[in-house]
Structure 1
Amino acid sequence: MKKAGAVDDVPPSEVLPGSLIEVRPGERVPLDGVVTGGFSVLDTSAMTGESLPVEAGSGSPVLAGYINGQGVLEVRTERDWRHSALARVQEQVEAASGRKSPLEGRLSSFSRIYTPLVISIAALVFLLYPLVTSGSWADGLFRALVLLVISCPCALVLSIPLGFFAGIGRAARQGILLKGSNYLDALRKVKTVVFDKTGTLTEGVFSVDEVLPRDGVSPEELLYWAAHAELSASHPLGRSIVKAYEGTLFPDRVAELVEVTGGGVSARVEGRPVLVGKKSFLQEAGVRTEEGEDHGVTVYAALDGILLGCLRLSDRVKPGAERAVRKLRELGVSNLVMLTGDSSSAGTEVGLKLGMDEVFCGLMPAGKLEHVRRLRPETGLLAFVGDGMNDAPSLAAADIGIAMGGVGSDTALQAADVVVMKGDPLAVPLGMMLSQATERIIVQNIVLILGVKILVMVLGILGLAGMWAAVMADVGVCLLAVGNSMRIFRVKLDM
């Protein structure tokens, strides 16, 4: 905080509205406010999902959670910590978590019927056997005890948890961590999947999609001059251009590098002046550029004051994203939606490429949360897949919140029910397939256990099964259920 010309480090909770604070390069903006001095480029993806860095100068509003990229900013705070955007996200997470409907266990309702039923049957066998067959009371008591041993619910009680524990273990091997067996069970019921964009479906890293040189200039030549000019630049677009150049780079050929924040770079490469940056940056330097509106992220390059051409960049879609969308449709998901804080052009382009049913752009955390609540299906469940701090309220509000653990923020990981450690979108349909496989194994366990028990019960009542058969019907089916549950580790999942 700045006070009387000096800068002191104080906790955000002690800073009052109207105070001046200084945000240095690489630091996170601690409080909401307005820039009063300096110019920089901000990484706003944690709060808005915007993949492209945003310029901030005098008069620009900033929110707590933004990361300062380059210059030093002086910010006048508008709200205290309790009312900042970051604090509101945490409040929305807590409120959304409280509204999540509990998923009732399968076994509890069945056990309330099963246990009294078998005890009543055993009592009837003891009381009616001597009266119906003229046998002894001792023989009736023995058959009732055999029936009780056979009907012991241990195998039934174990069958469902065993299936879920095995399913959770298989999911963990695939890099999918579930915070409870109820979420593994719920995945198979998902009918609507809502995705965040940046960091979830895309890598959040820009790549050069098109190299568009002017007549007489080769693509390799355009990339050569642009990559060398950006060789020491700190802007993420510059690093993407350098990475796109496949030839040999010569740092000793670059001199007089000047990086203009929010504009571009100028440098001398092999002693010749090179400009790389926005159209307006080159125009201010006297370079004639083509008229017309740019589509997406476009970077221009000029050599000796003459335009060489332009490069078009975009946020790279993750390799497994398209396959994940196709597989989700095969699994019966009826509605696929993308919510992003990114610009309309960038968000719509990714949504069309992946075949989303709906795309909503320019959303803040509260906007995403509102859409998640509105999109909840009448039948089935809704899963939200995200990674950033701005996704945390939506992750908590969804029936199943799935966080990308490899790139996700701590807030998102805490709010989620399922964590995908590798950050691969393919883990979403994989989790649903594991849920379906686990369900099949649990049903098999129940049918097997009840079938064997009912058969031996009838034999016991008729006097054809003794105590050894009762013990085998109890302990033996437990072992069978364990073996059947372990099959989940050998189930092949066709992706």
Structure 2
Amino acid sequence: MTHLHKHEDHDNECCAPENKSNPKSGYATAGCCGSDDNEGGHSGHDHDHGGENQSVLELFLPSVISFVLLGVAISFDHLFSQTWFSGWIRIAWYVVAYLPVGFPVLKDSYQSIKRGDVFSEFFLMSIATVGAFAIGQYAEGVTVMLFYSIGELFQMLAVRKAKSNIKSLLDQRPDVANVLEGKKVISKKASDVSIGEIIELKPGEKLALDGKLLSDYATFNTAALTGESKPDSKSKGEIILAGMINLNAVALVEVTTAFTDSKLSKILDMVQEATAKKAPTELFIRKFAKVYTPVVVYLAIGICLIPMLFVDDYTFKDWLYRALIFLVISCPCALVISIPLGYFGGIGAASKNGILFKGSTFLDVMAAIQVVVMDKTGTLTKGVFKVQKVVAIGISAVDLVRYTAAIEAKSTHPVGSAIVAFANDNYNEITVTDVSEIPGMGLKGRVNGNEIAVGSPKLMKKLDIDYDTELDTIPYTTIVVAFNQKYAGHFIIADEIKEDAKTAIESLHKLKIKTILLSGDNQAVVSAVAKELNIDEALGNLLPEHKVEKVELLLNQKMKVAFVGDGVNDAPVIALADAGIAMGGLGSDATIETADIVIQNDKPTKIFTAINIGRKTKQIVWQNITLAFIVKLVVLILGAGGLATMWEAVFADVGVALLAILNAVRIQRMKF
């Protein structure tokens, strides 16, 4: 029913080749297809290093101990020769230097083999370093494992930083709410608060559940939900969302949504699911590593043994050393670490900018978008009707507004509400009688004894009242007013265009992306908005099924399409598009759940930001892939030919991994 249902079978989907072509079904949980259990693709090694709760000093302590012991040993070997530093004492010293960093890897290798995953990177590091000890290359064996462990720690710190932007959301929902019961304020668990109860929110406190503001006025910090630091002022009756922080006087909020159904709760669920939905590039690299790793193990065995058939002065120890170098170089650390980290950083950067990607696969999709299709109301416009112009004929504009508002106060139509709001309560003393509604046209009645008719030009025609016929050509809602059967003026009412809508369209055009506006409003209004914003194509008078047809047509032309909307009627077309984008602040729950990407502050410019983050993430990922393959290929060839030592192997493995990690975390520092 909703888009979230598409993701229920991650574990099976990632193993199905037929799903590769559909990015919306190409997800994998972190552990599927025999892959690893955490974001970086390493099954438990991060945990063995101490976990996410340890300080940096605690994490690096084993490496520091190993480094100090290794430094002393090398000094005794080459700088300050000691007679006692030989034989079993020398070997034992290097073993002790090896264990702080080597034991966790040996343990992970053993556990991987028990699970049936023999050819893991832990296995490669284990046999390479143990092999180095076997041929007497103790210093090199310790060095390889030391630098590998340091690389893993840098990866952990990079993941921590990437997670911080996302995890900050998890701290935004308070567990306790102060509820009014009679004249008392009772502290309750947020999950126990019922719909209809009233929360007293003091300055500085966060709201625990969605609700309706009962106080006349309040100002809130909405950064947790929208990424915006600018305070948001709310009036009585407006919806306040969980996670918003009260900034001024005590506010009373009536709970309208259960704790588990609040918009923040849904966002948190989406965040927690997002890191499990992998991009096709991630899935490919994991599958590639599972083939690549055993191949290089067998090649290493070949490098060690096959030359004895062809080389006259074959020495087993020399060729074993070459094979060990080959194994160190071939470890796919740079790929399996940096690629997921790149995507994870992209999701974190987006979250920091008020954009929620429901999986790294949609970073790839957004990077390839060619057409952005948008709804009008709530996406490019504010969805709030306001009086734009008042024209009075034979009566003062003030009186026209007062009299019209007095009769429109008897209506619930949004257009009438806009006039009432515009009058600002300056009509309360006016007596209104004999009000009747003409369906689809307007109202008739008596104001202070005068006959009044308020409605569309169609109403004037029905009542045979002459009016300015040029009003028929205005591409906005026009309300005409007549007093005692005589035209008295009109109101121009329009939905306001969002302040950043024009900038959003200009930014998309700079990326060579086509823009299309699809709306249910009449064609004249839609065309006027499109002209003002310089949108490439605009179609009005569309029902939801017509929007689906238009997007299907673009998809059939092999175009990569993103659709942006906010209403319930947009949910079908959002589900259909390659990337469905929901305006999350005002959008309906159905649309937000169906969407692949949620813009939490409703700003159209965030569409450009989302595309830009997707493109930058993909660029960084491919930079890392290219760097890793080129360096490894060169050093592999040199290693097989006996021209590279273990030191070059360390650079090809750990050095490249560190460079790739540093490149991957760049996206978190970029400004979008």
TM-score computed with the length of structure 1 as normaliser: 0.68
Q: Is the 8 A contact 1:122 1:148 kept in 2?
A: yes
Greater RCO, CA 8 A, separation 6+? 1
The match for 1:406 is 585
The match for 2:420 is 242
The CA deviation at 1:279 is: 4.1
The match for 2:657 is 478
Question: Partners of 1:258 and 1:166 in 2: how far apart?
Answer: 65
Describe the shift of the 1:205–1:260 C-alpha distance in structure 2 as closer, same or farther (beyond 3 A). Answer: farther
* SS of match in other structure, 2:373: strand
The match for 1:79 is none
Letter in 2 for 1:323: T
1:254 correspondence with 2:458 = no
The match for 1:107 is 285
The match for 1:450 is 629
The CA deviation at 1:336 is: 2.1
The match for 1:438 is 617
Describe the shift of the 1:372–1:213 C-alpha distance in structure 2 as closer, same or farther (beyond 3 A). Answer: same
Gap runs ≥5 in structure 2: 1-278
Give me the identity figure in percent.
39
Gap runs ≥5 in structure 1: 1-101
Letter in 2 for 1:485: A
The match for 2:497 is 317
The match for 2:3 is none
1:39-58 CA distance string (max 9 Å, x none) = xxxxxxxxxxxxxxxxxxxx
Describe the shift of the 1:293–1:227 C-alpha distance in structure 2 as closer, same or farther (beyond 3 A). Answer: closer
The match for 2:467 is 289
The match for 2:507 is 327
Q: Is the 8 A contact 1:231 1:251 kept in 2?
A: no
The match for 1:68 is none
Letter in 2 for 1:256: V
The CA deviation at 1:282 is: 5.9
1:180 correspondence with 2:356 = no
Question: Partners of 1:488 and 1:257 in 2: how far apart?
Answer: 65
The CA deviation at 1:184 is: 0.7
The CA deviation at 1:466 is: 4.8
Q: Which has the higher helix share?
A: 2
Write out aligned runs for 1:80-99 (5 A).
Answer: none
Write out aligned runs for 1:49-64 (5 A).
Answer: none
The CA deviation at 1:487 is: 1.4
Describe the shift of the 1:391–1:106 C-alpha distance in structure 2 as closer, same or farther (beyond 3 A). Answer: same
Question: Partners of 1:257 and 1:145 in 2: how far apart?
Answer: 97
Q: Is the 8 A contact 1:228 1:249 kept in 2?
A: no
Query: Bigger CA drift: 354-363 or 259-268?
Result: 259-268
1:118 correspondence with 2:284 = no
The match for 2:177 is none
1:132-159 CA distance string (max 9 Å, x none) = 4824212211221222122111221122
The match for 1:374 is 553
Question: Partners of 1:311 and 1:329 in 2: how far apart?
Answer: 35
The CA deviation at 1:475 is: 3.6
The match for 1:4 is none
Write out aligned runs for 1:34-183 (5 A).
Answer: 105-107=283-285, 110-111=288-289, 114-115=292-293, 118-127=296-305, 131-132=310-311, 134-183=313-362
The match for 1:299 is 479
The CA deviation at 1:109 is: 6.6
Describe the shift of the 1:413–1:479 C-alpha distance in structure 2 as closer, same or farther (beyond 3 A). Answer: same
The CA deviation at 1:330 is: 0.9
* SS of match in other structure, 2:603: coil
Write out aligned runs for 1:348-387 (5 A).
Answer: 348-376=527-555, 378=557, 380-387=559-566
1:397-432 CA distance string (max 9 Å, x none) = 211111222222233223221122222222211111
* SS of match in other structure, 1:328: helix
Describe the shift of the 1:260–1:365 C-alpha distance in structure 2 as closer, same or farther (beyond 3 A). Answer: same
Q: Which has the higher strand share?
A: 1
Describe the shift of the 1:368–1:383 C-alpha distance in structure 2 as closer, same or farther (beyond 3 A). Answer: same
Describe the shift of the 1:219–1:134 C-alpha distance in structure 2 as closer, same or farther (beyond 3 A). Answer: farther
The match for 1:19 is none
**Residue 190 of structure 1: which of 364, 369, 372 is its match?**
369
Question: Partners of 1:375 and 1:350 in 2: how far apart?
Answer: 22
Question: Partners of 1:367 and 1:103 in 2: how far apart?
Answer: 32
